[in-house]
Amino acid sequence: MPEKLLHRKQESYRILIESVKDYAIIILDPQGHVISWNQGAEQIKGYTADEIIGKHFSVFYTDKEKAEGEPERNLREALKLGRFEDEGLRVRKDGSQFWANVVFSSLIDEEGQLIGFGKLTRDLTNRKKAESEIEQLTTHLEERLQKSETEVFDYKQALDEAAIVAITNQKGIITHVNENFCRISKYSKEELLGQDHRIINSGYHSKAFIRELWVTIANGKIWRGELKNKAKDGSYYWVDTTIVPFLNEQRKPYQYLAIRSDITKRKAVEEELHRANEELENKVKERTYELTQALEREKELNEMKSRFVSLASHEFRTPLSTILSSMALVEHYTEPEQAAKRMKHIDRIKSSVKNLTNILDDFLSLEKLEHGSVDVRSTEFDLKEFLTDVTDEIDGLLKRKCQILHLHIEGDTSLCQDKKILRNVLLNLLSNAIKYSPEEKQIWVRAEVKGKEVLLTVRDEGIGIPAEAQPHLFSKFYRAGNAVNIQGTGLGLHIVKRYMELMNGNISFESKDGKGTTFILQFPKTITS
Ligand code: ADP
């Protein structure tokens, strides 16, 4: 290489080295004296080239290192290995220290002679500072982590101590249970893990309730409520429950933490209270019902009294005044040719007395029935004979013009019943049929004995019973609107119904206003008294 070119190249290197600012590039002679000093060295160490050139490089070392012979050792190492790298504290011109990375290289010429050392120094203060900051930060973080881990552990332990804890995955499969969970459910950990909560389902809660629970937690919301669960041995327990969903970055639950506390005792007390309350309410209801019934009875009694008063004033007065007036006339008709007229009035008196007797009989029967003093006395008799007797008896009451009583009997007619009661019933129905039918209409009595049962019907072609009156027909003192002009007390049918009950039978009727009525009696052929 021409000398000029070589010179220019060396010059370029020198300028390059001198202008490097971030590294101190220093050349030392074989004894360690500074012979070359660049801008970086001036910047890092504080000496100008004039101040340092010729000085021994040990000025950059601390007193302690100098005393220990560290600078010489570094040069020896570099000579031995060709290159030696070290990190440590170095001293600036102003005495301040900085952390430096130093690389020594031994410089050997072509003949193998040591001509000096290259020394490259980097100020690591900032890096060191950053490193120590990072280190501090890491330590701090580690400490905090440690602390929060301890805290979490403490919380977990406190929770495990105090509560019944279970964790499930997002599908509801149990992945963790604590001791308390096992204790209350009476299942072992092994039996519970991998199962879902159906294992402790009591079946007490509605499907809608459970659905609402799942919808809440699946939407990432906390669910709180009281649940009734079933333990392994079939016993039930109540738990106050809070289910907390744990959410992933997509805000979707990836697991659920259920924290429960045992409220079985409280629930039992509540249930007991509830039961006691219900009992009390029922008692109050019962008592109220009894009182209302008593009031109703009293009301009914009052109504009955007033009905009786109006009935007595009307039904007694009419026959009594008939008797009085007829008696006065009988007194008048003393002549033998007036015998017919006399007889007519005597008949009137007789019929009025009979009416009064009937009314009194009804009252007596009712009184007896109300006091439960009517005894059933069953006797054997023939239904056909019985009906013929009764219809003969009633024959005299038939209205003169064409009222005919038809009798029809079917089946085995031997009965074992209370003849007296049946007679009263039948007389009542027949006298009604006569009373509520116009003169030209007919009456049918039909008896049918089928197996153990007797069916007896009394049909007339009379005034009938209006629809609105039909539901009340068997009530005491009740009289239909179309019957008010015909004599009566409204007691007969009530008595008949109660008589039928005594005979273990029942009474019903079919009727159309203006078209006639059929009363139907059903009773057993045999009754034991
Ligand atoms: P009453 O003394 O009024 O006849 P009942 O108790 O025997 O009393 O009958 C009650 C009511 O039933 C009568 O007032 C009448 O309105 C109606 N009733 C009973 N039998 C008949 C019948 N055969 N035809 C039409 N209405 C009847």
Strand order in the sheet with 506-512: 405-410, 443-450, 453-460, 516-524, 506-512
Q: Which two tokens stand for residue 30?
A: 């074989």
- Of 274 and 489, which is predicted with more confidence? 274
Q: Which two tokens stand for residue 213?
A: 């629970």
pLDDT at residue number 282: 95
Measured from the CB, is residue 491 less than 6 Å from ligand 1?
Answer: yes
When the pLDDT of each residue in the chain is averaged and rounded to a whole number, the result is 91
User: What is residue 476's DSSP assignment?
Assistant: T
User: What is residue 439's DSSP assignment?
Assistant: T
Chain-centre distance for alpha carbon 303: 48
* Alpha-carbon separation of residue 485 from 294, 473, 480, 481 (angstroms): 34, 17, 10, 9
**Predicted confidence (pLDDT) at residue 445 exceeds the cutoff of 60:** yes
pLDDT at residue number 401: 54
pLDDT at residue number 75: 93
Residue 432 CA to ligand 1 centre (angstroms): 6
pLDDT in tens, 76-117: 999 999 999 999 999 999 999 999 999 999 999 889 899 999
Percentage of the chain beyond pLDDT 90 is 68
Type of residue found at 420: K
Q: Which two tokens stand for residue 50?
A: 């004039």
Helix segments in 256-382, DSSP class H: 264-311, 317-332, 339-370
Over range 49-70, report the average pLDDT. Answer: 94
- Provide the pLDDT confidence category of residue 182 given band limits of 50, 70 and 90: very high
**Predicted confidence (pLDDT) at residue 1 exceeds the cutoff of 60:** no
Over range 302-316, report the average pLDDT. Answer: 76
Say which range, 47-61, 137-151, 358-372, has the weakest mean pLDDT: 358-372
The closest of 421, 436, 415, 523 to 487, measured between CA atoms, is 436
Over range 493-507, report the average pLDDT. Answer: 95
User: What is residue 164's DSSP assignment?
Assistant: E
CA dist., res. 303 & res. 280, Å (int): 34
CA dist., res. 165 & res. 150, Å (int): 19
CA dist., res. 432 & res. 99, Å (int): 135
Which of 477, 479, 482, 515 has the most ligand 1 atoms within 8 A of CB, as the residue to mutate?
479
Q: Which two tokens stand for residue 27?
A: 């050349």
pLDDT in tens, 248-257: 999 999 999 9
- Of 393 and 274, which is predicted with more confidence? 274
pLDDT at residue number 503: 94
Over range 122-144, report the average pLDDT. Answer: 89
Tell whether the torsion through CA atoms of 435, 436, 437 and 442 is positive or negative: negative
Q: Which residues pair with 458 in a beta bridge?
A: 445, 519
Instruction: Specify the CATH superfamily of domain 375-524.
Output: Histidine kinase-like ATPase, C-terminal domain (3.30.565.10)
pLDDT at residue number 17: 79
Q: Output the DSSP codes for 127-140.
A: HHHHHHHHHHHHHH
CA dist., res. 136 & res. 133, Å (int): 5
**380, 444 contact by CB (below 8 A):** no
Measured from the CB, is residue 429 less than 6 Å from ligand 1?
Answer: no
Which of 432, 474, 491, 498 has the most ligand 1 atoms within 8 A of CB, as the residue to mutate?
432
CA dist., res. 180 & res. 160, Å (int): 7
pLDDT in tens, 288-306: 999 999 999 888 878 777 7
Closest ligand 1 atom to 469 CA: 16
pLDDT at residue number 525: 95
pLDDT at residue number 402: 56
**434, 443 contact by CB (below 8 A):** yes
Measured from the CB, is residue 496 less than 6 Å from ligand 1?
Answer: no
Over range 310-324, report the average pLDDT. Answer: 81
Protein residue whose Cα sits closest to atom 10 of ligand 1: 490
pLDDT in tens, 376-402: 999 999 999 999 999 888 887 776 655
Torsions phi, psi for 372 (to 5 deg): 65, 25
Mention the CATH class of domain 127-262: alpha beta
Residue 460 CA to ligand 1 centre (angstroms): 12
Residue 466 neighbours by CB under 8 Å, 6+ apart: 480, 481, 482, 513
Q: Output the DSSP codes for 286-301.
A: HHHHHHHHHHHHHHHH
Long-range contacts of 74-78 (CB under 8 A, 24+ apart): 74/102, 74/104, 75/28, 75/32, 75/104, 75/117, 77/104, 78/104, 78/105, 78/106, 78/117
Over range 199-226, report the average pLDDT. Answer: 95
pLDDT at residue number 454: 96
- Provide the pLDDT confidence category of residue 480 given band limits of 50, 70 and 90: very high
Residue 427 CA to ligand 1 centre (angstroms): 13
Residue 490 CA to ligand 1 centre (angstroms): 7
CA dist., res. 32 & res. 117, Å (int): 8
pLDDT in tens, 22-38: 899 999 999 999 999 99
pLDDT at residue number 400: 61
pLDDT at residue number 468: 95
pLDDT at residue number 399: 66
pLDDT at residue number 404: 76
Q: Which two tokens stand for residue 478?
A: 């009740």
Torsions phi, psi for 487 (to 5 deg): -60, 140
Q: Is the pTM of this model over 0.95?
A: no
Residue 349 CA to ligand 1 centre (angstroms): 24
* Alpha-carbon separation of residue 36 from 25, 28, 54 (angstroms): 8, 7, 9
- Residue 435 half-sphere exposure, CB side, CA atoms within 13 Å? 17
**Predicted confidence (pLDDT) at residue 340 exceeds the cutoff of 70:** yes
The fold of the 15-122 domain, in CATH, is Beta-Lactamase (3.30.450)
Q: Which two tokens stand for residue 358?
A: 């009937």
Over range 218-227, report the average pLDDT. Answer: 95
Q: E strands, 130-235, where?
A: 164-169, 174-177, 223-230
Measured from the CB, is residue 374 less than 6 Å from ligand 1?
Answer: no
Torsions phi, psi for 484 (to 5 deg): -65, -25
Q: Output the DSSP codes for 319-340.
A: HHHHHHHHHHHHHH--SGGGHH
CA dist., res. 368 & res. 283, Å (int): 34
